[in-house]
Amino acid sequence: MIRPISRYGAEVLHQPARPVSDITPEITQLVDDMIQTMYAAPGIGLAATQIGVPLRIFVADISLGRNPADLITFINPEFVERDGMQLEEEGCLSVPGFNATLARPSRVVVKGLNRHGEEQVIEGTGLLARCFQHEMDHLEGTLFVDRLRGLQKDLIVRKIKKLSRAGKW
């Protein structure tokens, strides 16, 4: 089932998510819904907080569904390593219509559970590293806009507030 995506300003997006205690049929259904929602958006990643569920789960697929083997699910993920630096433009399904250039490590290693409860450790470089970090930020209650500084952040936040007042957000 495709679920609505929460937008910048929604409380659930600005609070840390809780760990998943058990992988139940409800959690499996949530993962399926997240995958459908991510592909429908379309996006390359989606955190559970983005669909209003404050749990530490994210899905990612930088192939946008073109390569089924690229679909990754993480439950209770944590960083093992981060190094290097990349400076690239980033957007977010919860902040539609806005992009900004952000510095992030160019390589990360993430460990956590897959959808079957099995431990996995996955290294990401380039776009996959950026995607993992972006989704992990969501699980901490941080959006890419929160990482911006000064005028760039002010402009985006002001435009969002204006859209919100006009009922278009």
Q: Where are the domains of the chain?
A: 11-165
- Mean pLDDT to the nearest integer, 55-59: 98
Per-residue confidence (pLDDT) for residue 153, from 0 to 100 = 96
Catalytic residues, by residue number, are 135
Per-residue confidence (pLDDT) for residue 142, from 0 to 100 = 98
Per-residue confidence (pLDDT) for residue 60, from 0 to 100 = 98
- Mean pLDDT to the nearest integer, 15-39: 98
Tokens 């907080």 found at: 49
- Assign 134 a pLDDT band (cuts: 50, 70, 90): very high
- Assign 35 a pLDDT band (cuts: 50, 70, 90): very high
Per-residue confidence (pLDDT) for residue 8, from 0 to 100 = 97
Pick the CATH number of 11-165 from 3.50.50.60, 3.40.50.1110, 3.40.605.10, 3.90.45.10: 3.90.45.10
Per-residue confidence (pLDDT) for residue 129, from 0 to 100 = 98
Please state, in angstroms and rounded to a whole number, the distance separating the CA atoms of residues 164 and 82: 36
Per-residue confidence (pLDDT) for residue 117, from 0 to 100 = 96
Q: Take residue 118 and report the two structure tokens written for it.
A: 């099995």
Pairing state of beta strands 119-125 and 107-113?
Answer: antiparallel
Please state, in angstroms and rounded to a whole number, the distance separating the CA atoms of residues 49 and 153: 22
- Assign 152 a pLDDT band (cuts: 50, 70, 90): very high
